[in-house]
Chains A and B, each alone.
Chain A
Amino acid sequence: MSDFTSLVDLKNKTVHPRVFVDPEIYKAEQEKLFGRCWLFIGHESQVPNQGDYVTTYMGEEPVIFVKDRSDRLRVFLNSCRHRGVKVCRKDHGNTKIFTCPYHGWSYNTEGGLQGVPQIREAYHNDLDKDKWGLIEVPRVESHYGLVFACFDEESQSLTEYLGSFAFYLDLILRRSKGGTVSTPGTHRWRMPGNWKLASEQFAGDNYHADTLHRSPNLIGLGPDEYRGGTPWDTDFEAKCSNGHGWINFHLPSEDIPPVQAEYMKQLEKEAQEVLPPRQAALINGVQVGTIFPNFSILGFLGFTTIRVWHPRGPKEMEVWSWGLIERDAPPEIVEITRKMQCLTFSPSGIFEQDDGCVWGEITDTLSGQNRINYPLNYQMGAGHGKELADKPGLLHPPSTEIGVFGYHEHWREMMGRK
């Protein structure tokens, strides 16, 4: 087994290009990351009733996310135990039974093998149905609506895995009394580029915004409008435990459309009732974060997108993204944020398009037999981070790469585990 740990240089704060292009590394990641980390599955609100299901992926593996007959959330590999055909071929729906289209084995929502055609005549009743249920992902836990699953039975709990990052995640998930729901529909698109390039950016690359997203800025829609908080206090990036990272900066209250300004005020008020003061003080801002390895969240002005960067080979990713909104949000806010989702962070998003175009070029150039020998620089802010009493993590005002490198430090640790 190759040693990948030398590819992330802890002393010099560099990452080797192989990390983003090497098929051997990609293959090892499937086991060492996607086989061991908590991966995002969906939002509880996607499966409100017994028998509701959604099909998605954990890494490259198709899975079914279902609410069973006793309201338990379960995740199964979407693959028949007989020859492996997908037992569920729809994006979502409601069912009592998943029937395989090949020979007709059927499974209930608890994963149990229920029906086998010709079990008497052809199997002579010798098939032990109890042994041939759907393969279940052993760990499924949820954090205020967001459901994650983990293939590693021995893994720490989701709460331990999120660690200090929950403080930040909750700025969105717990700022209102009713919590959040995911809005209908999934944006799904393919992009050239290694999946980690997207994850690391959301973990703490605020540096790119001024340059890469200059065009929305120039037409008056960009992040330039959004600065104006206090460094360290409201404007900061946080490197959290387990490779998670967060970016936060305040939105000035002028220049905000009145309906949304009103809504944010109301959220701030609610947050003061439901969250500790040091969290409530941070509600009104631009917030971006990544939960290692491939879940990201981004929100501003009441709009939130959550997404998974599914790996599709070392040089391609498939993005699945959803909108998130307060359960009790007024209809006009739901509609405004849906429009924001379509315009800003979607396959046609005026921010998203430009992110996508650079990630593909990175994996192209880094594959070059010369370029691959020269490490990538993650030194920004190294040694200048601080721990503060009022919020967790290693902090520094934007811009810094402390969090981005933190993502790779954790990658190194996971890839080094036996």
Chain B
Amino acid sequence: MNSFDLRQEFEEFFIKEAWLLDNDKYDEWLDLFDDDTRYWAPVRENLDRGNENFAKPHLLSHFDDNKMTLGFRVKRLATGYAHAEEPPSRTRHFVSNVQILEKETDRVRVESNFIVFRGRPGKDETFFVGVRRDWWRKDPTGWINEERMVIFDHDVIESITIFF
């Protein structure tokens, strides 16, 4: 498959993924992740140009989940007592600027920008902006996520009650 087709494939794939998140289909969304996926978001720092290094191990993250802990978060929402998400936020995920960064036989590294709107009761409205760098593996069942690094463009962020 050439890069153009692959890019197009991921653009469509991300649209479907965003639809799952914006329509309360968290269990189906969770199915996209490998058991030992790493779904994480390193904290941002204001440093000298070029000095932020996301390749360092054990960076502090806003979240740093595998499928089990991501599953805790999904299950928590279903209890009806996750008060920060009761009543549930209205979210809208906009995903763009999809690029294929690396290609291996059955794995690809894909980058995508996002703007996510979160609406809470009483005009409590937030935009989250950033970029996602993912590793996806081609399985017989479809693409499986091996890693998603969410790089927010916020240094001081707001309470993170939703998924990216």
Contact = CB atoms under 8 A, between A and B. Distances in A.
Given A215-B76, A219-B75, A339-B64, A186 B81 contact: no
Interface residues of A, number: 43
Contact of B156 (A212, A318, A323, A357): A318
Contact of B159 (A90, A92, A353, A364): A353
B76 A216 contact: yes
Interface string A65-97: 000000000000000000000000111110000
A347 B43 CA distance: 10
B62 A346 contact: yes
B158 A338 contact: no
Interface string A184-218: 11111111100000000000000000001011101
Contacts of B1: none
A184 B57 CA distance: 11
Nearest to A321: B60
B63 A343 contact: yes
B84 A188 contact: no
A219 to B, nearest CB: 5
B127 interface: no
Contacts of A189: 156-159
B123 to A, nearest CB: 12
A350 interface: yes
A348 B41 CA distance: 10
B47 A93 contact: yes
B79 A356 contact: no
Interface in B44-89: 45-48, 58-65, 69, 72-73, 75-76, 79, 81-85
Contacts of B79: 214-215, 218-219
Contacts of B84: 353-354, 356-357
Given A185-B43, A339-B64, A356-B84, A347 B158 contact: yes
Contacts of B101: none
B23 to A, nearest CB: 21
B46 A90 contact: yes
A350 B60 contact: no
A394 B6 CA distance: 66
Contacts of B76: 215-216, 218-219, 350
Interface in B112-146: 122, 124
B106 interface: no
Contacts of A362: none
A221 interface: yes
B55 to A, nearest CB: 14
Contact of B59 (A185, A191, A212, A214): A185
A376 interface: no
A188 B31 CA distance: 31
B160 interface: yes
A190 B156 CA distance: 7
A301 to B, nearest CB: 15
A198 B114 CA distance: 32
A186 B83 CA distance: 25
Contacts of A190: 156-158
B149 to A, nearest CB: 13
A402 interface: no
A91 B45 CA distance: 6
Contacts of B156: 188-190, 318
Contacts of B60: 183-187, 323, 338, 341-342
Nearest to B76: A215
A346 B73 CA distance: 13
A89 B46 contact: yes
Interface in A207-259: 212, 214-216, 218-219, 221
A335 interface: yes
A330 to B, nearest CB: 13
Given A185-B60, A187-B60, A348-B63, 19 more contacts: A92-B45, A92-B47, A187-B62, A190-B156, A192-B124, A215-B83, A218-B79, A338-B58, A342-B61, A342-B64, A343-B72, A346-B62, A347-B160, A348-B160, A353-B82, A353-B83, A353-B160, A357-B84, A357-B161
8 contacts: A91-B46, A185-B59, A190-B158, A318-B156, A347-B159, A350-B73, A350-B76, A354-B83
Interface of B: 40-43, 45-48, 58-65, 69, 72-73, 75-76, 79, 81-85, 122, 124, 155-161
- Nearest 8 interchain pairs by C-beta: A185-B60, A348-B160, A353-B84, A357-B84, A215-B81, A214-B81, A342-B64, A348-B63
